[in-house]
Amino acid sequence: MNKIIPQFFTMVVPLGESGLRFFEQIFGVTSLFFQALYELRKIWFYRRQVVEQCYSVGVGSIGLILVVSAFTGMVTAVQAAYQMEPYYPKYTVGALILQSVVLELGPVLTALVLAGRVGAGTAAEIGTMKVSEQVDALESLALNPVGYLAMPRLIAGFVMIPALTIISDTVAVIAGYTVAINTIDMTALEFVKGMRMYFHLHDVIVGMMKAFCFGGMITLIGTYMGLTAKNGAKGVGTATTLSVVTSAVLILILDYVVAQVFL
Amino acid sequence: MITFDHVYKRFNGNVVFNDLVFDVPDGITTVLLGPSGTGKSVFLKMIIGLISPDYGYVWIDDRNIVNLKTKYLYRIREQFGFVFQLSALFDSMSIYENIALPLKMHTQFNEESIYSKVNECLSLVDLEDAGHLYPEELSGGMKKRAAIARALVRDPKYILYDEPTTGLDPRTAAKIENLIIKVQQERKVTSVVVTHDLTSARRVGQYVALLTGGRIAIEGSPEELDESANQELRRFLNEIPQNESLL
């Protein structure tokens, strides 16, 4: 008994500490989100940063998104044809590509790729600024780091990631269409017929809602991890890893929540 | 006037300030001496509200900045220039952009006025030709000078220097010290320099204080401290390998 109680505590105390850290982080991210929203009143003051971030997140990610979405559409076409051809009419391939891309693959894959590019980049950049006193320097120049660093990135996430998702959806469908009519014995008319039969505006809206949520979340998590980085280069590395892992997990959780609520 | 009024501060149980009382004299350069880890940088960061005391007050021109609303705190910060230990230049911006940033964000100056103001500061620190360079392209001494130019660009009333000569070779350190003296003389600012470097303290300081054990152990003009038999001061000096006399 004398040994069991200390062993119990050595097991439970770290769990308690991790739990506390978890809730501390949830509180921190939520607090940062509302502070950033509050800083929206100074959007004109930080307009240059907003434009720069929108450019960096949006234009800077287009190449990557084009490649990822093209291959997503192509592989969806091949898989759909392989699985459905013996049992369903060919035009259902068009329907399947459109629905799976608009509702799921477009927003989720775009977000996962951008969690790597934008989220990690944000955490590393702001983390480096934090450990090299550049964030303190901003404060000393009477510039609020939430307004200068977090709010422009949050706007960029909310605006540019849905925009990239629209591009991704379009490219994926075009790529799927190209593969479908070239490798499966299928006409363009059949493909379009399938798409039109199963097109619902509601699916597009739900897909965009997902992209909107993912976009804000990716930049928010990256900024939070960067602003809380400590202990030099190792701390920046940890912040970057945590940003990508947390964003990836939250994307999948949010994906489920939105699907469950709106579908 | 900057005043520390019975300030207490702890970090993870370690006492940094223990009833710290200190007035920074106006219009001259005050040097805060002390061994590493005694809270010299915390002292500077507390002056601009980056770190808050656990108890006590920090007065800037008769206004207590502890727990001050962010809006008012930022107004107070606009009176300060801060030169960080690692310079803390924004590495995604050129030197020109670094120095122009506070003007672009806080003033209505047009591009022409900003250009002229930035160049004036660059020329004061002898970096006229370095405006287009990025921080990674500069040497340690040049970064410090650029950081001083950034601190000066809005004509602050106070300039705070955190270990301005640490990590620099003696020649470059002397250049920075000359610059601190020149800035003080030309701009008539109140400067606070924290350092553990006696040579530097001797050159730039018009008023010197020794921070140890969470309090000011002794303060006065360099001459007064030279003649002092204060035990804390003697202990601090004895720990210096070169056995340098004081100030």
Q: Per CB distance under 8 Å, which residues of B are interface residues toward A?
A: 45, 48, 50, 70, 74-75, 77-78, 80, 82, 84-86, 88-92, 101-102, 104-106, 150
Of B77, B84, B92, the CB nearest to A133: B84
Residues with Cβ within 8 Å of B198's Cβ and at least 6 positions away in sequence, in order, are: B33, B237, B240, B244, B246, B247
Q: pLDDT value at position B69?
A: 92
User: What does the pLDDT average to over A26-53?
Assistant: 93
Of B80, B86, B105, the CB nearest to A133: B86
Q: pLDDT value at position B243?
A: 45
* Chain-chain contact of B84 with A139 (C-beta, under 8 angstroms): no
- Whether the CB-CB separation of B178 and B135 falls below 8 Å is answered with no
Domain count, chain A: 1
Statement: residue A5 has pLDDT above 80: no
* Chain-chain contact of B77 with A133 (C-beta, under 8 angstroms): no
* Chain-chain contact of A140 with B82 (C-beta, under 8 angstroms): yes
Statement: residue A184 has pLDDT above 50: yes
Q: pLDDT value at position A166?
A: 96
* Chain-chain contact of A140 with B101 (C-beta, under 8 angstroms): no
3 state SS for A91-117: CHHHHHHHHHHHHHHHHHHHHHHHHHH
Provide the shortest C-alpha distance from residue B24 to chain A (in Å): 19
* Chain-chain contact of A140 with B75 (C-beta, under 8 angstroms): no
Share of chain B above pLDDT 70, in %: 96
Sign of CA dihedral B170, B171, B176, B181: positive
- Residue-wise pLDDT tens digits, A105-125: 999 999 999 999 999 999 999
Give pLDDT < 50 ranges for chain B. 243
User: What does the pLDDT average to over A210-237?
Assistant: 95
Q: pLDDT value at position B232?
A: 85
Q: pLDDT value at position B222?
A: 87
User: Average pLDDT of chain A?
Assistant: 91
Q: pLDDT value at position A1?
A: 55
- Residue-wise pLDDT tens digits, A55-82: 999 999 999 999 999 999 999 999 988 8
Integer Cα distance of A146 and A154 in angstroms: 10
* Chain-chain contact of B88 with A144 (C-beta, under 8 angstroms): no
Least confident piece of the model among A2-11, A173-182, A185-194, B67-76: A2-11
Statement: residue A47 has pLDDT above 70: yes
Nearest to A236 by CA among A154, A121, A153: A121
- Res. A93 pLDDT band, cuts 50 70 90: confident
Provide the shortest C-alpha distance from residue B18 to chain A (in Å): 24
- Type and span of the H or E element at A241: helix A232-262
Provide the shortest C-alpha distance from residue B228 to chain A (in Å): 36
- What domain range includes position A57? 4-262
Provide the shortest C-alpha distance from residue B55 to chain A (in Å): 22
- Res. A9 pLDDT band, cuts 50 70 90: low
Statement: residue A6 has pLDDT above 70: no
Torsion of CA B87, B159, B154, B67, to 10 degrees: 100
